[in-house]
């Protein structure tokens, strides 16, 4: 009789253990999928961050160019020199557009 009870208890423990293992594996699979999703999102954000850095560098360069042009215009002694600075700016912008 004790043998039958022992087998029933062992069977119940085995079923419980199998259930716990199943739940743990299911959670692990869900975690793997979440990790994949987060990794893809991180890569996307990294790419966006790189693009924003590039744009920030371009804006800084434009602002530097703007300051340089403003200084050249202030230093110009006559209208011809002002026109030469503006023509140079237009030429530079056209070159950037055609690249």
62-86 burial string, b = 16+ CB within 10 Å, else e?
eeeeeeeeeebeeeeeeeeeeeebe
SS3 of residue 78 by DSSP: coil
The parent domain of residue 34 ranges over: 2-98
With cut-offs at 50, 70 and 90, classify the pLDDT of residue 65: confident
pTM of this prediction?
0.53
- Look at the alpha carbons of 88, 92, 98, 99 in this order and tell me if their dihedral is positive or negative: positive
Report the number of distinct structural domains present in the chain: 1
Q: What is the mean pLDDT of residues 70-88?
A: 85
Nearest to 14 by CA among 25, 22, 2: 22
Q: What is the mean pLDDT of residues 74-87?
A: 86
Specify the range with the lowest mean pLDDT, choosing from 2-11, 39-48, 55-64.
Answer: 55-64
Question: Alpha helix (H) ranges present in the chain?
Answer: 2-75, 79-98
Residue 86 CB partners (closer than 8 Å, separation 6+) = 73
CA distance 8 to 22: 21
């Amino acid at each position: 009789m004790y043998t039958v009870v022992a087998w029933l208890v062992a069977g119940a423990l085995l079923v419980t253990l199998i259930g716990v293992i199943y739940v743990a594996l299911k959670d692990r699979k869900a975690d793997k999928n979440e990790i994949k999703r987060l990794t893809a999102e991180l890569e996307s954000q990294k790419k966006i961050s790189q693009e924003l850095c590039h744009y920030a560098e371009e804006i800084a360069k434009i602002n530097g160019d703007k300051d340089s042009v403003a200084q050249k215009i202030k230093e110009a002694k006559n209208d011809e020199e002002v026109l030469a600075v503006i023509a140079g700016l237009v030429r530079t912008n056209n070159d950037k557009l055609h690249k």
